[in-house]
């Protein structure tokens, strides 16, 4: 596609529910990142994929968070047993080169009631 696409744009769920957030990167971009942005804060790194594998998942806050990228393109961020503290905007970005700039999607706003 022309840009990074994220769905859903907004998601409201109840505490304890399971949530999936999807990211479709720019075609041909091998690197894909997930960030979490809380209100008034800068993006916080969660996980980075190079191709199909998670090259760095050190930012995932706990084992309730998991992300996959099975075919090296679309990625899904999965959050189990959601908590109110998980409420944030989840940003996805992709990159073509190792040292290239990040191209961001518009984010998925998650609200946990």
Question: Measured from the CB of residue 95, what is the shortest distance to other proteins in angstroms?
Answer: 8
Lateral strand order in the sheet of 75-79? 5-7, 19-24, 75-79, 65-68
Interaction residues for other proteins, span 72-111 (CB under 8 A): 89, 91, 93, 95, 98-99, 101-107, 109
**Token pair in block for residue 53:** 């594998």
Instruction: Between 38 and 80, name the residue whose CB sits nearer to other proteins.
Output: 38
Residue placing its CB nearer to other proteins in the complex, 25 or 107: 107
Residue 57 interacts with other proteins (CB under 8 A): yes or no: no
| C-beta closer to other proteins: residue 80 or 111 | 111
E-assigned strand segments in the chain: 5-7, 10-13, 19-24, 31-37, 44-50, 53-56, 65-68, 75-79, 88-95, 103-104, 108-112
* Selected binder of other proteins within 11, 26, 33, 65 (CB under 8 A): 33
- Indicate left, alpha or beta for 45 from its phi (over 0: left) and psi (-120 to 50: alpha): beta
Residues that bind other proteins in the complex, under the rule CB under 8 A: 31, 33, 40-45, 48, 50, 55-56, 59, 89, 91, 93, 95, 98-99, 101-107, 109
């Amino acid at each position: 596609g022309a840009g990074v696409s994220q769905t859903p744009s907004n998601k409201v769920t109840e505490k304890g529910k399971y949530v999936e957030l999807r990211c479709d990167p720019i075609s041909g971009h091998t690197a894909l990142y997930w960030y979490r942005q809380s209100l008034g804060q800068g993006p916080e790194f969660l996980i980075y994929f190079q191709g199909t594998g998670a090259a760095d998942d050190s930012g995932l806050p706990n084992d309730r968070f998991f992300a996959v990228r099975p075919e090296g393109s679309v990625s899904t961020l999965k959050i189990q047993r959601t908590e109110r503290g998980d409420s944030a905007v989840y940003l996805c970005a992709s990159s073509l080169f190792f040292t290239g700039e990040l191209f961001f999607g518009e984010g998925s706003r998650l609200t946990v009631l």
